[in-house]
Structure 1
Amino acid sequence: MSEGIQAVLDLLRPDLQSFAGYSSARSSAVQGSVWLNANESAWPNPADAKGSSRRYPDPQPPALLRALADVYGVQPAQLLVGRGSDEAIDLLVRAFCRPGTDPVLVTPPVFGMYAVCARLQGAPLLEIPLLDAPAGLQVDIDAVIDLARDQRARLVFLCSPSNPAGSEIATGDIVRTAQALQGQAIVVVDEAYIEYSSQASATALLAAHPNIAVLRTLSKAHALAAARIGTLIAAPELIAVLRRCQAPYPVPQPCAELAVAALQPAVLAKTRDRIAGVVSERERLFHALQAAPGVRRVYRSAGNYLLVRFDDAQAAFDALLAADIVVRDQRAAPQLGDALRISIGSPEENQRVLAALSARRAAA
């Protein structure tokens, strides 16, 4: 084992260093034709047409791991699949942060689950606010490194593209953060929206920087939000540790089968076409919203959404809702007291957004 990997494993909570986790009936490699080791029903439910749901699923379905590894360009041993990215975030915080001792660093306004998981674990929360610059809401990497070092942060979450800001973090800044915090913290790069970006994945950095971990999901670009398939990509040794901390049977078999089907070449080709369509609509909507009445600023985005500031965000929210359009109210988030986040829909849906906002001027 390399020194870099060992330094990462040394960050694990001391009380979990030798933790073996729960050994489920599917954890062992034994095979047979009559399965009587898991207290399952001998008969399928009458509503189960396929008759397969009476058996517990594989904790980490091999076919799904292979399909994800092919798409992400990594090895199956580098993957932990769970109930969306949320489960991976929670596992990281619980495994590496001692309550009241090991801080989690985040960059608000950003995805709220990092802070939620830290609070549930009792881990101190450190915040470096995004800088509102001409290029958009940007991460202050120097401030992140300085605070993480000073307060001995154990986990640093970098969201790229950032939600809701839409901004990206340069690969060089991710490398610089990982190098500065080597032996002290794991740098978790959340790439939930990277399919909509032209930036290369941080998975290319894993071999040289074992304290980097990457979050991916099938919920966004792959349109499988209800299937709840999220993946953590990291060094195999780190993945093995987190598997021991994961609850049994995290991936329902129907969800795994759907995900495998969605990752086949022909389906992936259609998904790439749809991603290109979203990016095109994102550009169109970006320019059109700038001309909409009451819009103060539209931020450039590398995700499938746009963050928009309004002169009167409540009036804009109400106008959209009156047109049967639901957007995300961001006004409770730091620095975003006048902002809404608008997901990129179909061309027809996007046109309805523009029409609803334009109708405010006519009504006035």
Structure 2
Amino acid sequence: MSVTVRALLREDLRDFGGYKSARSEALAGEIWLNANESAWTNPRDVGGQLRRYPSPQPEALRARLAQVYAVAPAQLLIGRGSDEAIDLLVRAFCVPGQGRIVIAPPVFGMYAVYARLHGAEVIEVPLRDGAEGLCADLPGLGDAAVEKGATLVFLCTPGNPSGELLALPAVAALAQRLRGRAIVVVDEAYIEYADAPSATTLLEEHDNLAVLRTLSKAHALAGARVGCVIASAPMIDALRRCQAPYPVPQPVADAAQAALEPQALALTRSRMDAVREARARLQDGLRGLAGVRRVYPSAGNFLLVRFADAGAAFAALLAAGVVVRDMRAMPQLGDALRISVGTAAECRRVLAALGASLADGAP
């Protein structure tokens, strides 16, 4: 057991073995009668895959993900998007009703949701709004974790909705400071859009790092719900014991593996280039519109935009058939919308709708 897992895993889970499903053991046979499955295939199950329970961790997909992310398979746990990984981390490393996590709002809401469902306290160190954008205060996050005894610190890079890309040396410094005290969770849901190195490159030297990845965004598999957490092998083992037995159906695993084949990855990389180009054009177009107060820099596939009248801008886009994310209920963002970077035609439609509305002064 690593220093981090030994120090931070809930004491009542240290000897917990989790649920051992019928697929947990490596058994071979021609007639499978160990899982109480139906003896007949459902008429709608054309491929005949759905009658059987899937593997708790699809090994072929796990091996391929490990190869793509340049880690060992033992360092990776597949789950339902990266959301499940957040839930597992809170379950494993926060004592119910007593645990604490640290976040930097405005940020992805599920960190706080899972913490509160678990009875853990959420400690907030807000993003700082300055010349460089909405930026996380990593030293401040570290101070809060130490002072409050938090066991998890969540970082989002590129930030959602801030778009901020964190510098890996700063992440490494935070992990070093919190070693034995807290796990630094680096959510990289949008990292492909940034064309930047992953925090997985820091894992060898920091056993209190956990990196979240997903196929929902860059790989266009949001409906499949496939993601993973990457960390030290002992941490992965602890999280696996907290996981439900069959997180990924076999057809979903097959689709995910196909999305990771070399030809598919090459297409994804070319699409990332296209998104970065479209993001720059959309950013320039928005900055040229009257009524746009600020367009934040972004390393993701979205832009955070402040408006003189965000309600009117939101209504104008809806009237033009364009749905964007209303951020006005989030802290610090009472005048902001988040706009995903779509196709070139979709971006032109956004600019046209806002240009007409803001020029007229009416939705």
Normalising by structure 1, report the TM-score. 0.98
RMSD: 0.9
Q: Structure 1 unaligned runs (5+)?
A: none
* Corresponding residue to 2:104 among 89, 100, 107: 107
What do the CA deviations read for 1:191-241 (whole angstroms, capped 9, x no partner)?
000001132100000010000000000000000000000100000111011
Q: Give the Cα separation in 2 of the matches to 1:175 and 1:362.
A: 47
Match of 1:351 in 2: 348
Q: Give the Cα separation in 2 of the matches to 1:253 and 1:38.
A: 16
Match of 1:309 in 2: 306
1:281 aligns with 2:278: yes
1:222 aligns with 2:219: yes
Match of 2:16 in 1: 19
Q: Give the Cα separation in 2 of the matches to 1:42 and 1:9.
A: 44
Match of 1:249 in 2: 246
What do the CA deviations read for 1:14-58 (whole angstroms, capped 9, x no partner)?
111100000100001111110000011111111111112100000
Counting only pairs closer than 5 Å after superposition, residues 99-248 of structure 1 correspond to structure 2 as: 99-248=96-245
Q: Give the Cα separation in 2 of the matches to 1:158 and 1:329.
A: 22
Match of 1:319 in 2: 316
Q: Give the Cα separation in 2 of the matches to 1:31 and 1:361.
A: 67
Any conservation in 2 of the 1:85–1:229 contact (CA below 8 Å)? yes
Q: 2:79 is matched by which residue type in structure 1? A: G
Q: Structure 2 unaligned runs (5+)?
A: none
Any conservation in 1 of the 2:324–2:338 contact (CA below 8 Å)? yes
Q: Give the Cα separation in 1 of the matches to 2:321 and 2:6.
A: 50
State the SS of the aligned residue for 1:296.
strand
* Corresponding residue to 1:88 among 73, 85, 88: 85
Q: Closer, same or farther in 2 for the Cα pair 1:362/1:156, shift >3 Å?
A: closer
Any conservation in 1 of the 2:218–2:272 contact (CA below 8 Å)? yes
Q: Give the Cα separation in 1 of the matches to 2:212 and 2:7.
A: 21
Aligned-residue offset at 1:362: 4.6
Q: Give the Cα separation in 2 of the matches to 1:23 and 1:62.
A: 17
* Corresponding residue to 2:264 among 262, 267, 282: 267
Q: 1:29 is matched by which residue type in structure 2? A: A
Q: 2:78 is matched by which residue type in structure 1? A: V
State the SS of the aligned residue for 1:342.
strand
Q: Give the Cα separation in 2 of the matches to 1:21 and 1:215.
A: 22
Q: Give the Cα separation in 1 of the matches to 2:239 and 2:6.
A: 11
Any conservation in 1 of the 2:296–2:305 contact (CA below 8 Å)? yes
Q: Which runs of 4+ in 1 moved over 6 A?
A: none
Q: Give the Cα separation in 1 of the matches to 2:139 and 2:55.
A: 43
* Corresponding residue to 1:42 among 8, 16, 39: 39
Any conservation in 1 of the 2:159–2:165 contact (CA below 8 Å)? yes
Q: Give the Cα separation in 2 of the matches to 1:125 and 1:195.
A: 29
State the SS of the aligned residue for 2:294.
strand
Any conservation in 1 of the 2:327–2:334 contact (CA below 8 Å)? yes
Q: Closer, same or farther in 2 for the Cα pair 1:329/1:244, shift >3 Å?
A: same
Aligned-residue offset at 1:142: 1.5
State the SS of the aligned residue for 1:237.
helix
Match of 1:76 in 2: 73
Q: Give the Cα separation in 1 of the matches to 2:81 and 2:50.
A: 21
Q: Give the Cα separation in 1 of the matches to 2:209 and 2:49.
A: 38
Any conservation in 2 of the 1:293–1:360 contact (CA below 8 Å)? no
Q: Give the Cα separation in 2 of the matches to 1:10 and 1:152.
A: 12
Q: Give the Cα separation in 1 of the matches to 2:106 and 2:58.
A: 35
Any conservation in 2 of the 1:293–1:357 contact (CA below 8 Å)? no
Q: Give the Cα separation in 1 of the matches to 2:335 and 2:182.
A: 34
1:290 aligns with 2:292: no
Q: Give the Cα separation in 2 of the matches to 1:9 and 1:336.
A: 40
Aligned-residue offset at 1:83: 0.5
**Count of equivalent residues:** 361
Any conservation in 1 of the 2:41–2:48 contact (CA below 8 Å)? yes
Normalising by structure 2, report the TM-score. 0.98
Q: Give the Cα separation in 2 of the matches to 1:198 and 1:64.
A: 23
Any conservation in 1 of the 2:49–2:251 contact (CA below 8 Å)? no
